Structures are given as C-alpha cells and as structure tokens.
Amino acid sequence: MRIYGLFSESSFVLTVFEFLKSVYWRTIGFDINISMLILGLIGGIGSGKSTVAEMFCQLGAEQIDADRIGHEVLQRHEVQTIARNRWGDRVFDHNGQLNRKILAQIVFDPSETGCEELRFLNFLVHPLITQKIEDQIRQFSESDCRYLILNAPLLLENHWEQRVNSLIFVDVPRSTRIARTQKRGWTSAELDARENSQQNLQEKRRTANWIIDNSGNLDETLDQVKKIWQNLETWNR
C-alpha cells in the first residue's frame, strides 16, 4: 500500500538496509562518507521535481540536477560539432549558441524521423551526462553530504535507479502540469510530445518508494518533504 508522504514498506526495508550497510563500513574502518543516501526524484514534466528538490536542499540535502548537466553537455565543443553535422546551422542561433528550442522541435517531432533524431541525441549526450553524474556522486560521497537528491527527469529511462537508494515520485494531475508548464511557454501539445518519449507515468509511480502529492500549495508539499526527511533522519543518524 502506498501512503502519501509517509514511509512506505519498501522504503523502510531499503533504509534499514542502508543503515546496516553504513554500520558495516564504519566498523571495518572505511574512511569516506558511505552513509550518504541518494534519493532519486521522478515524476511528470512540470510535476514539481525541481521545487521538491529545492525543499530538500533547504533542509540540508545536496542536489544533482541532470537537466542542468544536460544543458552543460550541449555547450561542449565536440557535441556541438556533431550536432552541426547532423542537423545543420538551423539548430544554432546567430551567436553560434545551440538553440535548444529548435532542437527540441526536431527530436520531439511525433514522427518516425523524430524518434530517430531523439535516439541519436540520446546516443550523443547520455554517456556524457551519466559520466558527469557519476563524477558528482563521487565528489559528494567524499564530502560530509548525507542526503543527495538526484533530480533527473529520465532517471528510470537511463537506469540511474541503480545508483539511488530510494525513489520519490512527485504526483500532480496532468491538468495542473499543463497549467504550470505554460509559464515555460509550452503548449499542452509540446508537453505531450516530450512526455510521449518518456516512460509511462503510472509505471514510474509504481516504482517509487515514496509519493509526494504536489497538487496543493507549496506549504502542503513542504510538510510532506519534512515528513520524509524526519523518517530518513531516524534511520541515518
């Protein structure tokens, strides 16, 4: 049974396991911080993953933002060279910057060509993004960080769930997500185009250890984040 904002059965088992593991490593004298828990944030586009990530950070967590890493990777010279060879000058603006909006139109086109171009883009950038995420996880694990949020929209699609201790699904009805992403200048069709290339939301929801209902106001969401935090603190002392 899943309970909004409360400790689900599987997350309880996972956290106990992580706790025992950290005791074991401490006992044999491993001197890096292995009690760091990595929490993966999943959910639909515009569900509030970044908002929830920020709330965890206010409580003391650190964050890896896979979207930001993705944007950085697209700035790399070698990536831009390959992008220009594939899609031509049309994906660059007059300042020579890669235009992500145009690129998105190409790769999220609901045609077979769009799928092929998205596969190519993923093939190009995902190994680099994964490498960067691994580097950051290592750096945080060598610091005194105890909770690391992995905010990665394509976490499950890229099998990064293997790198996290617990998964949190941010739940919001589609109509609310459409309203909230309109602030980004997206239409519901653009939201659909992006979301159709992602794993089904119900499957993602089923995979999660925790579910945060972010359909209410920010205070209500913060309360749920604090409840999860308190539960984590109980086991990760």
Which chain residues interact with ligand ADP by CB under 6 A?
A: 43, 45-51, 180, 183, 214, 217-218, 221
CA angle, 163 as apex, 104 and 155 as ends, to 5°? Answer: 20
**Residue 186 vs residues 28, 113, 207: alpha-carbon distances, Å:** 53, 22, 28
Least separation in angstroms between residue 200's CB and ligand ADP is: 16
Cβ at position 23, least distance to ligand ADP in Å: 35
Closest among 2, 11, 10 to 234, alpha carbons compared: 11
Tell me how long the chain is: 237
Q: Which is nearer to ligand ADP, 37 or 168 (CB)?
A: 168
Least distance to ligand ADP, CB of residue 74, Å: 18
> Is 83:98 a contact under the CB 8 Å cutoff?
yes
Which CB sits closer to ligand ADP, 16 or 218? Answer: 218
Nearer to ligand ADP, 93 or 220 (CB): 220
Q: Which is nearer to ligand ADP, 10 or 51 (CB)?
A: 51
- How many C-beta atoms lie closer than 10 Å to residue 49's C-beta? 27
Q: How far is the CB of 232 from ligand ADP (least distance, A)?
A: 21
How many angstroms separate the CA atoms of 195 and 42, rounded? 13
